[in-house]
Chain A
Amino acid sequence: MEKGKEPVMDCPETRPIAPVVVRKSPASTIPVVLHVNGQEHRIKVRRQDRLSSVLRDALGLTGLKEGCLEGECGACTVLLDDMPVNACLVLAFQADARKITTVEGVENADGSLSPLQQAFLDRGAVQCGYCTPGMVMAAHGLLLQNPRPSESEIREGLGGNLCRCTGFQTIVEAVKTVAEL
């Protein structure tokens, strides 16, 4: 397509803007309501706070790990509205009023391990354990979206999580056993 011959499209017209009042919070803290593992938490966060540090330090949910703090390792994976995210790359104030699930919220109601967690143990998919909460949450999120994933879909779903011990094979096998149930 040559320059100057771009297709004409129906784009918004330039228009005047009426003054309005915007909800704003002081720079120091922002009140938020976090719905974590079915419990409501009313807390104040700073605008630069990462969701991972708020969950760990303010709410004591230390299952998730802050490994790389740049979205590489996946150890901080939690579900935000049932979708896996790197909690280290989510601003805590943006999680206001959203549903958050951490690894502490995956177990069965009676406190026993979920089938997915049990499969990790049965398959030897846990060694040092540092990556495990993130792996479990990435797999849990995958299975919520796609209950019968293929092996390649499992590998793709876990691609954002690094493990330095087990070599991934046992982790993929653990997820497969649950996917095949």
Chain B
Amino acid sequence: MNGRTGVARPRTVDEVTAATRGLDGRIAYVAGATDLIIAQDGIPWPDLVIDITQVAGFNTVEVSRGFIRIGAATTMTTLSNHKTIGTEMMALARAAAKVGSVQIRNRATIGGNIASAMPAGDLLPALHCLGARIGILRRDGLHETLGFEAVVVGRGETCLGNGDLITTIYLPRETPKRRISAFVKTGPREVLTIARLGVAASIRLNPKLNRVEDARVVAGALAPVPLRMHQVEATLRDREIGQPLADDFLFALSQAVDAAIPGRHSQPYKRRAITGLGLDLLQQLFNREFDIPSVQAEPA
């Protein structure tokens, strides 16, 4: 440690890099601080705390032709109120709207949700199913852009080394109306609840909007990292929208829970809960009601 400790409040990316240069100690980046304050309670603080909320471009959402660019310090409130995100990236808008309470959403940020990498992180399944790419500033000043799966690698684990920083989230845009996404979650309470289970889905419809061409379905709080459920996706892909699709989809969701947490005490609950979540998800995606299948899959 060289004595350059304390707090830095950089206003540019160059200043971020300069703040960490030559420092041996632990570095913590902070935006909303909703996780950091609790995590640091009663234990020594990092050698340098870098507040990234004033860095130019870190609080903005920019919509360009090919993608939506979201600064890492963008709050949940901003995400849930943003017009283009609300129409084209509904899974992310809904996930952001379901985080904590109004008070938390006014502080908590998308970059923090990714960096914390908690299994119940609400934005994570949404970002995964939307094909998010994450812009990272390495400590040596180099920029890198990685796919979601390369960034969130374990429970509370990311690819970020000490001093590395998430700067940007890129969401690819596709033909509006044909690309639809949704997010549902359940927990002990309606509000301010840590997800026991969350599911995000992103689908592409055919030009007539009556068939699913492609689908990505990702579960949150079911595995250490957001779990892409390929067999569930297969029940949607290249299928006509209707009750047979719903029956197969809901059955596959329960099977995915059985495969993910066999024998876990929460398995009986989650394999049923995911059926209810699946119904809500289908309703969000297709804007119509479906029936619960009469025969429930039995635990494997």
The chain A residues found within 8 Å of chain B, CB to CB, are: 1, 3, 6-7, 9-28, 30, 47-48, 50, 69-72, 74, 77, 80, 83-86, 88-91, 93-94, 138, 141-142, 155-157, 159-161
Tell me which of B29-37, B88-96, B119-127, B251-259 binds A.
Answer: B29-37
Provide the bound-state CA to CA distance between A80 and B106, in Å: 9
Residues in B with CB closer than 8 Å to A14 are 142-144
Contact present for A48 and B101 (CB under 8 Å): no
- B268 at interface by CB-CB < 8 Å: no
Beyond A90-B33, A160-B192, is A17–B17 a contact (Cβ under 8 Å)?
A: yes
Chain A residues with CB under 8 Å of B2's CB are: none
Residues of A within 8 Å of B135, CB to CB, are 11-12
**When the two chains form their complex, are residues B107 and A15 in contact, meaning their CB atoms are under 8 A apart?**
no
B100 at the interface (CB under 8 A from A): yes
Q: Give the distance in Å from the alpha carbon of A21 to the alpha carbon of B10 in the complex.
A: 9
Residues of B within 8 A of A84 (CB): 102-103, 106
Known A-B contacts A19-B18, A86-B103; the reply to A159 vs B7 at CB < 8 A is: no
Contact residue among B102, B141, B170 (Cβ-Cβ distance under 8 Å from A17): B141
> Are B102 and A22 neighbours in the complex by a CB distance under 8 Å?
no
The complex places the Cα of A94 from the Cα of B8 at a distance, in Å, of 11
Within the complex, the shortest CB–CB distance from A46 to chain B, in Å, comes to 9
**Residue count of chain B within 8 Å CB distance of chain A:** 56
- Report whether B101 and A159 are in contact in the complex, using a CB–CB cutoff of 8 Å: yes
Question: B44-83: which residues lie under 8 A (CB-CB) from chain A?
Answer: 45, 49, 51, 53, 64, 66-67, 77
A11 CB contact (under 8 Å) in B7, B17, B37, B133: B133
Asked whether, in the complex, the Cβ of B12 is within 8 Å of the Cβ of A20, the reply is yes
**A99 smallest CB distance to B (angstroms):** 13
Residues in chain B near residue A16, CB distance under 8 A: 141
Nearest CB on A from B192, distance (A): 5
With A74-B101, A74-B103, A83-B106 given, name 15 new contacts (CB 8 A).
Answer: A7-B67, A7-B172, A9-B170, A11-B133, A11-B143, A12-B145, A13-B143, A14-B142, A19-B18, A20-B14, A24-B4, A80-B106, A89-B104, A156-B191, A160-B191
